[in-house]
A and B are shown apart, each in its own frame.
Chain A
Amino acid sequence: MGIDMVLESGNSLIRPGAVESAQEEIRSERVSREQRQTVGTPFVEDARMTCRGVEVFYGNKQAINGVSIDVAKNEVLAMIGPSGCGKSSFLRCLNRMNDTVDICRVRGEILLDGQDIYGRQVDVVPLRAQVGMVFQKPNPFPKSIYDNVAYGAKIHGLVSSKSELDEVVEDALKKAGLWDEVSDRLEQPGTGLSGGQQQRLCIARAVAVRPEVILMDEPCSALDPIATATVEDLITELKQQYTIVIVTHNMQQAARISQRTAYFHLGDLVEVGATDRIFTNPLHQLTEDYITGRFG
């Protein structure tokens, strides 16, 4: 049974995986806090990305301890967990952004469509065009709003004319819910926008390249409820074609938009499962502590 089924049946249904439902019925006891093996269903049948035994080190300090998880096609995977538990570190492995951190080393295996993205032959330029990223802190270029959004399409040669580029920019800004606010001042610097607007600008910039997998690191942390709703609509819309991994501290948000949720705890992937199940019936004591607010 594939994850596609889940999508068709909508968010409200718990994935009817045989193992999990069996577990659910028996489990009234949670897995104890000392236990750090991943529980739940980290693996799916038609995976877009496959991670096996991923470890991340900053110098001698290990930030991720052997995480194995799949990201399915056309799903929204939410990653939650207390601050500093390694969500960003893990997310950044998925398009090799950690390469840019000198002291950072990544071990283990990460496959995109069966190809090892850390392989020797792999060129990070097409990889990052394919696996886009929205960063935790908004980081617009100190250029005009237009140039910010157009940049990716320009360098990858996605457009052949100015009018096409205009369309791409408008479309991306609309998707990020920023068009109405900036359509009359596209030539002004992107750095002159408010924090939340900058965040949406960065979303538009990532979306304009039309990546197949989008990694979002707390994209709504600086947004008001209205803008958040726009971004969530965008995510739901993008999900039809793309795969999205989103880090969020907002559990309602995770529940609203994601199909599966992964809970990280101090560098360990503690639990993965269908979102509704995680929030209603977590298997692991740590997960329960976190979602009920007893931790962090």
Chain B
Amino acid sequence: MTRQNKSTMEMVQRGLARRHRREKIFRFLGMAAVTTSILFLLLLFGSIIANGWSAFRQAELSLEVSFDQELLDVDNLRDANYALLIKRSLREFFPQVEKRRDLRHLYKLVSSGAAFELQAMVMADPSLIGTRRLVTLPADDEVDMLLKGYIPRDVPESERRVSDQQIRWIDELVAASRLKLGWNTTFFTAGDSREPELSGIRGAVAGSLFTLLVTLLLSFPIGVAAAVYLEEFAPSNRWTDCIEVNINNLAAVPSIVFGLLGLAVFLNVLGMPRSAPLVGGLVLTLMTLPTIIIASRASLKSVPPSIREAALGIGASRMETISHHVLPLAMPGMLTGTIIGMAQALGETAPLLMIGMVAFIVDVPGGLTDPATVLPVQIYLWADSPERAFVERTSAAIMVLLTFLIMMNGTAVFLRKKFEQRW
């Protein structure tokens, strides 16, 4: 007996060094893998933030505008010549500019959207008419780019989009504190626009939210119900096996296929409106359902059968067993699956292109059937635009999208932690 024990110890000792070494190597590999992924993540975030943070600031002009009575007809404020008000105010500031060509260049410093801002201002408050006051107006995107240093000053004039003369005026305005970088509210309050300085993500965010709302409202109940039925009620036979295989396959179908399906069924057969969050939500529901069903089934499976037996054993019906005991225990896993599905849906572009959500839409959607676009599509559209100012906006929009995604995943983690129960 003692000899046997001793030889066991000896054998254990002999192998011990090798076993520890293996463990060390494995730990090292694991740490290396984690470090690499963190580095890549930092690189990704770093480059996006470096590119995008400047989009949150925007060049704005403070101009002394006199709201002349003779130009503003109280009965027809909509069609008044607001551009002329701005031109006059600029000429006042630069009285020495006289040639028509120079004046045209001078007027270019102000965004074409400035006139609309004045219009909105006057229409909201007609008492402005006849007064004279300092108004903050958006500058043109080229001015913005110059102030942010994206347009180099030291290259020959022909190689940049801002002339030497314009640079002089800009410097003059900056010196007079009439031109500066301010917080870019427009980016958060406006819809898309051809002019970078007038474009914002509000439309895309609203579109994304409406689309996700439809997706969530449809896919969560349907997914959970399907999972509960398949896991708890369905007899296990060839049919349910077949359904299971198909659901797993659906999860692997490229998302654009769901878009084609949506185009064929929802738009062409059912005649639903194009570019609408409702249709986008339906398409994304098709896409997320398999994810939710699979995650929900897995979390139902992980509820120990002894809990079901306990409930059934004292005479709970199947429905009571499920709703009182199984579902509460499975809920964290189901919610996590749903949120991950939602996050996937939030980042999805391809299927939405098919149903027309890629259109250039200026208005912020107000409902489920209004034409809309979504954040990732907006990013795609901006990334495709030639203006330099859209580059930073692309990155800024990505930052917003990532913020939403991180928030959603954070919620998933939080829910899991909160409702996680031990048994």
Binding partners A and B: yes
Does B312 contact A97, Cβ atoms closer than 8 Å?
Answer: yes
Instruction: Give Cα A160–Cα B325 distance, bound, in whole angstroms.
Output: 23
B68 at the interface (CB under 8 A from A): no
Question: For residue A141, which residues in chain B have a CB less than 8 angstroms away from its CB?
Answer: 307, 310-311, 325
- Tell me whether A142 and B422 are in contact in the complex, defined as CB-CB below 8 angstroms, given that A125-B317, A135-B306, A155-B320 are known contacts: yes
Q: A130 — nearest CB in chain B belongs to which residue? A: B315
Specify the main secondary structure of chain B where it touches its partner.
helix
Closest Cβ–Cβ distance, residue A247 to chain B (whole Å): 15
B309 at the interface (CB under 8 A from A): yes
A76-84, A179-187, A201-209: which lies at the B interface?
A201-209
Instruction: Give Cα A140–Cα B313 distance, bound, in whole angstroms.
Output: 12
Q: A126 — nearest CB in chain B belongs to which residue? A: B315
Question: For residue A155, which residues in chain B have a CB less than 8 angstroms away from its CB?
Answer: 314-316, 320, 324
Does A128 contact B310, Cβ atoms closer than 8 Å?
Answer: no
Contact with B along A49-68 (1 / 0, CB 8 A): 00000000000000000000
Question: For residue A152, which residues in chain B have a CB less than 8 angstroms away from its CB?
Answer: 314-316
Does A100 contact B308, Cβ atoms closer than 8 Å?
Answer: yes
Instruction: Give Cα A202–Cα B218 distance, bound, in whole angstroms.
Output: 40
Closest Cβ–Cβ distance, residue A195 to chain B (whole Å): 13
Instruction: Give Cα A209–Cα B317 distance, bound, in whole angstroms.
Output: 15
Query: Which A111-139 residues have C-beta < 8 A from chain B?
Result: 124-129, 132-133, 135, 137, 139
Does B313 contact A128, Cβ atoms closer than 8 Å?
Answer: yes
Does B313 contact A132, Cβ atoms closer than 8 Å?
Answer: yes
Question: For residue A156, which residues in chain B have a CB less than 8 angstroms away from its CB?
Answer: 315
Interface size class on chain A is 20 to 34
Q: Which of B310, B320, B422 has the most CB of A within 10 A?
A: B310
Question: For residue B317, which residues in chain A have a CB less than 8 angstroms away from its CB?
Answer: 125
Question: For residue A142, which residues in chain B have a CB less than 8 angstroms away from its CB?
Answer: 307, 329, 421-423
Q: B303 — nearest CB in chain A belongs to which residue? A: A142
A95 at the interface (CB under 8 A from B): yes
A279 at the interface (CB under 8 A from B): no
Question: For residue B127, which residues in chain A have a CB less than 8 angstroms away from its CB?
Answer: none
A151 at the interface (CB under 8 A from B): yes
Interface size class on chain B is 20 to 34
B236 at the interface (CB under 8 A from A): yes
A191 at the interface (CB under 8 A from B): yes
Q: A138 — nearest CB in chain B belongs to which residue? A: B306
Instruction: Give Cα A132–Cα B309 distance, bound, in whole angstroms.
Output: 12
Instruction: Give Cα A126–Cα B329 distance, bound, in whole angstroms.
Output: 26
Contact with A along B272-309 (1 / 0, CB 8 A): 00000000000000000000000000000000111111
Q: Which of A102, A126, A128 has the most CB of B within 10 A?
A: A128
Closest Cβ–Cβ distance, residue B330 to chain A (whole Å): 12
Q: Which of B308, B314, B329 contacts A151 (CB 8 A)?
A: B314
Instruction: Give Cα A209–Cα B310 distance, bound, in whole angstroms.
Output: 13
Does A139 contact B422, Cβ atoms closer than 8 Å?
Answer: no
- Tell me whether A209 and B314 are in contact in the complex, defined as CB-CB below 8 angstroms, given that A135-B309, A139-B307, A141-B325 are known contacts: yes
Instruction: Give Cα A209–Cα B304 distance, bound, in whole angstroms.
Output: 23
Q: Which of A125, A135, A191, A202 contacts B315 (CB 8 A)?
A: A125
Question: For residue B306, which residues in chain A have a CB less than 8 angstroms away from its CB?
Answer: 135, 137, 139
Q: A152 — nearest CB in chain B belongs to which residue? A: B314
Does B310 contact A139, Cβ atoms closer than 8 Å?
Answer: yes
Q: B235 — nearest CB in chain A belongs to which residue? A: A102
Q: Which of B309, B315, B324, B423 has the most CB of A within 10 A?
A: B315
Instruction: Give Cα A44–Cα B17 distance, bound, in whole angstroms.
Output: 68
Does A97 contact B313, Cβ atoms closer than 8 Å?
Answer: yes
Question: For residue A139, which residues in chain B have a CB less than 8 angstroms away from its CB?
Answer: 304, 306-307, 309-310
Q: B305 — nearest CB in chain A belongs to which residue? A: A100
Question: For residue A124, which residues in chain B have a CB less than 8 angstroms away from its CB?
Answer: 312, 315
Does A209 contact B315, Cβ atoms closer than 8 Å?
Answer: yes
Question: For residue B329, which residues in chain A have a CB less than 8 angstroms away from its CB?
Answer: 142
Question: For residue A102, which residues in chain B have a CB less than 8 angstroms away from its CB?
Answer: 236
Question: For residue B320, which residues in chain A have a CB less than 8 angstroms away from its CB?
Answer: 155
Does A128 contact B312, Cβ atoms closer than 8 Å?
Answer: yes
Contact with B along A101-114 (1 / 0, CB 8 A): 01000000000000
Does B315 contact A129, Cβ atoms closer than 8 Å?
Answer: yes
Contact with A along B383-423 (1 / 0, CB 8 A): 00000000000000000000000000000000000000111
Instruction: Give Cα A194–Cα B106 distance, bound, in whole angstroms.
Output: 84
Closest Cβ–Cβ distance, residue B168 to chain A (whole Å): 75
Does A205 contact B314, Cβ atoms closer than 8 Å?
Answer: yes
Question: For residue A209, which residues in chain B have a CB less than 8 angstroms away from its CB?
Answer: 314-315
Closest Cβ–Cβ distance, residue B332 to chain A (whole Å): 12
Question: For residue B311, which residues in chain A have a CB less than 8 angstroms away from its CB?
Answer: 141, 151
- Tell me whether A191 and B423 are in contact in the complex, defined as CB-CB below 8 angstroms, given that A100-B308, A139-B306, A142-B329 are known contacts: yes
Instruction: Give Cα A156–Cα B324 distance, bound, in whole angstroms.
Output: 14
Contact with A along B25-59 (1 / 0, CB 8 A): 00000000000000000000000000000000000
Query: Which A189-242 residues have C-beta < 8 A from chain B?
Result: 191, 202, 205-206, 209
Instruction: Give Cα A10–Cα B27 distance, bound, in whole angstroms.
Output: 67
Question: For residue B314, which residues in chain A have a CB less than 8 angstroms away from its CB?
Answer: 128-129, 132-133, 151-152, 155, 205-206, 209
Closest Cβ–Cβ distance, residue A56 to chain B (whole Å): 16
Does A95 contact B307, Cβ atoms closer than 8 Å?
Answer: no
Closest Cβ–Cβ distance, residue A168 to chain B (whole Å): 13
Closest Cβ–Cβ distance, residue A225 to chain B (whole Å): 26
Instruction: Give Cα A128–Cα B312 distance, bound, in whole angstroms.
Output: 8
Closest Cβ–Cβ distance, residue B20 to chain A (whole Å): 35
Contact with A along B223-239 (1 / 0, CB 8 A): 00000000000001000
Question: For residue B324, which residues in chain A have a CB less than 8 angstroms away from its CB?
Answer: 151, 155
Instruction: Give Cα A137–Cα B309 distance, bound, in whole angstroms.
Output: 11
Instruction: Give Cα A191–Cα B311 distance, bound, in whole angstroms.
Output: 15
| Contact sample, A vs B, 8 pairs, CB 8 Å cutoff | A102-B236, A128-B315, A151-B314, A151-B316, A155-B314, A191-B423, A206-B313, A209-B314
In the complex, besides A206-B314, A209-B315, 18 extra interface pairs with C-beta distance below 8 angstroms are: A97-B312, A102-B236, A128-B312, A128-B313, A129-B314, A135-B310, A139-B306, A141-B325, A142-B307, A142-B329, A142-B421, A142-B422, A151-B314, A151-B324, A155-B315, A155-B324, A191-B422, A205-B310
Lowest 7 CB-CB distances: which A-B pairs, in order?
A: A129-B315, A139-B306, A128-B315, A152-B314, A139-B310, A133-B313, A142-B423
